[in-house]
Chain A
C-alpha cells in the first residue's frame, strides 16, 4: 500500500474506513494501524511545565496530536514546523484548538527538554511526556507504533507512526493528517474540525 492512498484517505476517510479494508491489512507483525475503531482513551502524562496533563484536559476543545521525539532530525521538526504554520494561519482560532506533541522517547525527552525544544515552535503547542508505562498506555490507545532501535556509538533512534491525530472536543477521532499532506488539505481538515 502506498503513501498516496493514505494521503487521499488520511483526512477525509479515516473514520469511514474503520472496520473495512484497513482492518484486513493488519497482521500480527505489522505496526498497529490507527484505521481501527476505538482510537483514544484515558491517559495521565506530564506537560512541559512539569504539571499533570490527563485525557480530561484534552476534552472540551478539538485537539491536534502528534507523536514524535526530539532526537528526530527531519520528520518531527518538519511536522512541528508545519503545525506551527497552520496554527499561525488559523490566527485567533488557533487557541480554540488543543495542540499537543507527545514524545514516544520519554527516556530522553524530559519535561524540561520538551519545553526547551518547543520554544522554537508555535507557543500553542503543549509538550507531553511521562514514564515509559504512561507513554506505552497512550501509544497503545492511539494505535501509535514506536520502537527503539540502537545505532552505533551507544545512541538510538525511534521508529514511530507519523500521523497527526485530529480529535473532536468529545475525544473521538475525526481524522488523520499524513506526513507530507499538502498544507491546503491540512488547513481544510483543521477548519472542518473547528466547525465541529
Chain B
C-alpha cells in the first residue's frame, strides 16, 4: 500500500466512524445526546429506545411522549425489578421530569422509550427517526441509531461504547452465539 492509498484508507475509516457518531441535538435549553434503539428480534411487537437529556435551563421540563413513522406508537416507560425478581414495566405518569441543571438518562434497567408495534425489524446500523415531545420545549426530531449501546462517544460497530448510565445499565459487547446481533444486558462479562 502506498503512502497515498494508506492516507485515503485512514481518512475513509475516519469518515465511516464519524457517520456512526450521533451529534447532540439542541432544543431550547435542552440537549439530547446518546440516542440509540435496541435491535429487535424477528417480529418483535415492541422495541426500546434510550437517550440522555440535559436541562441547561432554570425551569423543569417533561418528556411527555414521542412519535415515529417506523412504529405504531411510543410511550415513556419505566422498568423495575422487585426483590422477588419480578420485572415490572409501567408508563411514567405525566411524563418524565427533566429538572433544571440536571441530566436525565433513559437506559437499560430504568427508563426507556417503549416503541410499540415496529413496522419492521430494527437492525444494527439502521436509524429510527423519532420526534420527542416535551411539555414546554415542544418537539424535536432525533435520529436514533440501532445499536447495542449508546454511540455518541464511539462507533456503533465496536460493541460497548463509553457512556454508562445513571440507571446502572450497561451496554453489552457482542456476545458469541447470537443470531440477531448483540443486545445490551446487565451482565456484559464473557462466558
Chain A: residues with CB nearer than 8 A to chain B? 1-3, 6, 30-31, 33, 70-75, 77-82, 84-89, 108, 113, 116-123, 145, 149, 151-153, 155, 157, 159-163, 178-184, 186-187
Contacts of B108 in A (CB 8 A): 74, 78
Please tell me the number of chain B residues within 8 Å of chain A, measured between CB atoms: 47
Of the residues A84, A86, A88, A161, contact of B85 by C-beta under 8 Å: A161
- The verdict on A70 contacting B44 (CB below 8 Å), with A78-B185, A152-B75, A153-B116 known, is yes
A-B contact pairs, 27 of them (CB 8 A): A1-B83, A2-B83, A31-B86, A71-B45, A73-B46, A73-B112, A74-B48, A74-B112, A77-B41, A78-B183, A81-B182, A84-B175, A85-B177, A86-B191, A88-B176, A89-B176, A89-B177, A121-B179, A145-B86, A151-B75, A153-B73, A153-B75, A155-B116, A157-B90, A159-B87, A182-B187, A186-B187
A183 to B88, CA, bound (A): 23
Min CB distance, B90 to chain A, in Å?
7
Min CB distance, B170 to chain A, in Å?
10
- The verdict on A89 contacting B191 (CB below 8 Å), with A74-B108, A149-B90 known, is yes
- The verdict on A180 contacting B185 (CB below 8 Å), with A151-B91, A161-B84 known, is yes
A70 to B44, CA, bound (A): 6
Complex A-B, nearest 4 residue pairs according to Cβ-Cβ distance, in ascending order:
A88-B177, A180-B186, A120-B180, A120-B41
- The winner among A33, A77, A155 for most chain B CB atoms within 10 A is A77
Min CB distance, A136 to chain B, in Å?
17
Contacts of B177 in A (CB 8 A): 84-89, 122
Q: How many A-B residue pairs have CB under 8 A?
A: 160
The 8 A CB mask of B83-126 against A (1 = contact, 0 = none) is 11111111100000000000000001100101110000000000
Contacts of A178 in B (CB 8 A): 85
Q: Is the CB of B183 within 8 A of A116?
A: no
- The verdict on A179 contacting B89 (CB below 8 Å), with A71-B46, A77-B41, A81-B178 known, is no
Q: Is the CB of B41 within 8 A of A80?
A: yes
- The verdict on A179 contacting B186 (CB below 8 Å), with A3-B83, A120-B42, A152-B75 known, is yes
A145 to B86, CA, bound (A): 7
A159 to B89, CA, bound (A): 7
Contacts of A70 in B (CB 8 A): 41, 43-45
Q: Is the CB of A77 within 8 A of B42?
A: no
- The verdict on A119 contacting B191 (CB below 8 Å), with A77-B183, A78-B183, A162-B87 known, is no
Q: Is the CB of A161 within 8 A of B86?
A: yes
Identify the closest chain B residue to A163 (Cβ).
B85
A108 to B117, CA, bound (A): 13
B57-81 interface with A by 8 A CB criterion: 73, 75, 77, 79, 81
Contacts of B180 in A (CB 8 A): 81, 120-121
Q: Is the CB of B116 within 8 A of A78?
A: no
User: Is B3 in the interface zone, CB < 8 Å from A?
Assistant: no
Min CB distance, B57 to chain A, in Å?
28
Of the residues B48, B86, B114, B172, contact of A160 by C-beta under 8 Å: B86
- The winner among A81, A89, A153, A184 for most chain B CB atoms within 10 A is A81
- The verdict on A72 contacting B46 (CB below 8 Å), with A85-B191, A180-B185, A183-B191 known, is yes
Identify the closest chain A residue to B45 (Cβ).
A71
A88 to B77, CA, bound (A): 32
User: Is B6 in the interface zone, CB < 8 Å from A?
Assistant: no
A120 to B191, CA, bound (A): 20
